[in-house]
Amino acid sequence: MRLALAIASIVALTVHGFVFYDQFFHKWERHQTAYFDQARSRATSEAEKAELADRSPKIEQIMVTQFGETRVDRCVTCHAAIDDPRFKDYSQPLKVHTYSAAMGDRMVGGKWERRHKFSDFGCTVCHDGQGRGLENFYSHGEDPFWPEPLLGFVAQKEWREEFKKKLISKDYMEAACAQCHTQENFAGTPNLNKGRQLFFAKNCYGCHKIEGLSDGTLGPELTEVGKKWKLDYLWESIVDPRANLATSFMPKFTLTDDEVKSLVIFLKSRHGLNFNETSLERYRAHLGVAKLDSSAEVKPVTGDLKVIGAQLAKDRACAACHKIGEVDGGIAPDLSFEGLMKDEKWIGDHFRNPRIVTPDSIMPAFRFTAHDFDAMTAYLANLKTPPKLESPEATYKALCLRCHGEKGNGAGPVSTYLDPYPRDLTKSGFFNSKPKERFLKSIKEGVPGTSMPSWAKVMSEAQIAGVFDYVQTTFIKDARRDLKDRKVPEKNPVASSAESIAHGETVYLARCTGCHGRKADGKGPNALDILPRPRNLRNSFFVNTADDKRLMESILYGVQGSAMPPWIDIGLSQNDAGDILNYIRSLNPRR
């Protein structure tokens, strides 16, 4: 018993000793003492040795007032040798800060002279971290609640494991340089310069707004994204756009790790007001006004519109999403022979506002000049060379696979970014519930309001029939069966009236909102769990070109291969369906 008490007492005393030592003898004191000893041994004069001998450890700090809010930086408390070139071969924290000619440091009289003096700039302006901290956990920003860990040197514990190594690199420091060095192609920020180029080359500017750079409206504004988010969130948002928002329609671009890093550095540099701006420049950037003389008039380039349009399509990075010839962004429809599928008016309208002709399109409405729109429209409308289609299988792979997928299940490379979702061609229930003529018509004429174009000028009648037979035998596989006799009127049996529309709305709200939403836009609470997505019943291009019989049949007997049930089996009468149809039509007045 006595032995146990003795051991316990020794353990308790040892623990208390460690705690006492840790509380009253800080690491930073040991760092400073080590620096004084090493510096004294390297001193070249007695006066310097005496001065170092008289120094004792204390908290050192720099007050930085020239860069936004006042900063208190105590980094030099541990990094005592930060400005002592004799310590270039030591390890941290007793190591001199490197000198860099690229960042403006210069050799004067055989000695380096810093462009960015610590007395003026401090440390956290460039490095981030928590300037007031005196322990690594806090000063380096390892604390997960600190929003600014050391740029490129610290990966916080909760960051995704597969990202951590990729986020440790001194290259990320370039994001801080851009707070002052805002000019393009600054020699000290090569990765940031590449990131800025990628922002335009990958068409990020079309969706996102950055004051003074871009004016996109579809995606989140990125003017202050670097101030709001850490490196891990920026990296994750680029490589896995749906990681934090399941409904995000941001494309998943095919990028190398180096390209992702460059984009992250560029985005991390976006802090809104930078230290080099005047209030006037900020105001003009907010208005979207160029810094050039506003009296300078931009004159459109003259010449062949088709040639100009081809260059503009390249400059505006259309192929970052679309396929044009051999260049394929892998995200949006193939435009290689757009002139055979759409007329010039449709192309022009779609350029100016995509949702005018395809209500659920995710393509941004660009703010190009009218001349640019006309030139690019002329270019696309002139792309009329059809592809070589040597067999039904080749036809499917060349024209259909991009949306409907290699397996015909609707999961093609671009399907995620299309709404409505491409038809799943493996659903035999759907194909055996509709006449063959309807499918041939859809291929030939397209489906208005969707991404299914008219192939009439690309394929012959025989090729259309051939590709349908290929789908039937390759994906559907079931032999076509005789259609069931369904009692569906050719015309709506209920005349449209205020009373009918009101009753239709009541029935709709009671039965349809779970999938189609209260606004009838296809975004009900269940929509995220359904493929294909529920139909947007405010898509006037689709609703106004579909006849009464087709819509009545879908309401009464459902849509096989989808989540749309046969409401006639759940107590819905033909007149109820007629009232619902009148309500839907009332939401889509003809223009």
pLDDT tens track, the chain, 591 positions: 777 777 777 776 666 555 555 555 689 999 999 999 999 998 888 888 898 888 999 999 999 988 778 899 999 999 999 999 999 999 999 999 999 887 788 988 888 899 889 989 999 999 999 999 999 999 999 999 999 999 999 999 999 999 999 999 999 999 999 888 888 888 889 999 999 999 999 999 999 999 888 989 899 999 999 999 999 999 999 999 999 888 888 999 999 999 999 999 999 999 987 766 555 555 565 555 444 333 334 456 678 999 999 999 999 999 999 999 999 999 999 999 999 999 999 999 999 999 988 888 999 999 899 999 999 999 999 999 999 999 999 999 999 999 999 999 999 999 989 988 899 999 988 888 889 999 999 999 999 999 999 999 999 999 999 999 999 999 988 888 888 888 899 999 999 999 999 999 999 999 999 999 999 999 999 998 888 889 999 999 999 999 999 999 999 999 998 999 999 999 999 999 999 999 999 999 987
Fold (CATH) for 161-286: Cytochrome Bc1 Complex; Chain D, domain 2 (1.10.760)
In the block, tokens 């007149």 appear at 575
| CATH architecture of the domain covering 312-381 | Orthogonal Bundle (1.10)
For residue 386, whether the previous peptide bond is cis, meaning omega lies within 30 degrees of 0, is no
pLDDT at 180: 87
For residue 144, whether the previous peptide bond is cis, meaning omega lies within 30 degrees of 0, is no
Q: What secondary structure letter does DSSP report for 243?
A: S
Give the start-to-end residue ranges of the domains of the chain. 27-139, 161-286, 312-381, 392-476, 498-586
Q: What residues does 215 pair with on adjacent strands? A: 209
pLDDT at 289: 47
For the chain, percent of residues with pLDDT exceeding 90 = 71
Q: Where are the alpha helices (DSSP H) in 382-435?
A: 392-395, 401-404, 428-431
What is the residue type of 389?
L
Strand, coil or helix: 282? helix
Angle formed at CA 251 by CA 326 and CA 413, multiple of 5 degrees = 55
**Exposed/middle/buried for 259, CB within 10 Å: 0-12, 13-18, 19+?**
middle
Residue 479: name the closest of 424, 423, 431, 425 by CA.
431
Q: What secondary structure letter does DSSP report for 410?
A: S
- Cβ atoms of residues 72 and 131 within 8 Å: yes
Q: What secondary structure letter does DSSP report for 64?
A: E
Q: What secondary structure letter does DSSP report for 334?
A: B
CB neighbours (10 Å) of residue 15? 10
Residue 591: name the closest of 370, 343, 349 by CA.
349
Contacts of residue 480, defined as CB under 8 A and 6 or more positions apart, other chains included, come to: 431, 432, 436, 472
Residue 404: name the closest of 431, 383, 422, 390 by CA.
422
Give the integer Cα–Cα distance in Å for 378 and 386: 17
User: Tokens representing 15?
Assistant: 């623990």
Give the integer Cα–Cα distance in Å for 378 and 305: 6
| CATH architecture of the domain covering 498-586 | Orthogonal Bundle (1.10)
CB neighbours (10 Å) of residue 122? 25
| CATH architecture of the domain covering 392-476 | Orthogonal Bundle (1.10)
Hey, do 312-381 and 498-586 end up sharing a CATH topology, with the first three levels equal?
A: yes
Asked whether the CA dihedral 13, 15, 16, 17 is positive or negative, the reply is positive
pLDDT at 17: 59
Give the integer Cα–Cα distance in Å for 168 and 171: 9
- Cβ atoms of residues 69 and 77 within 8 Å: no
- Cβ atoms of residues 321 and 331 within 8 Å: yes
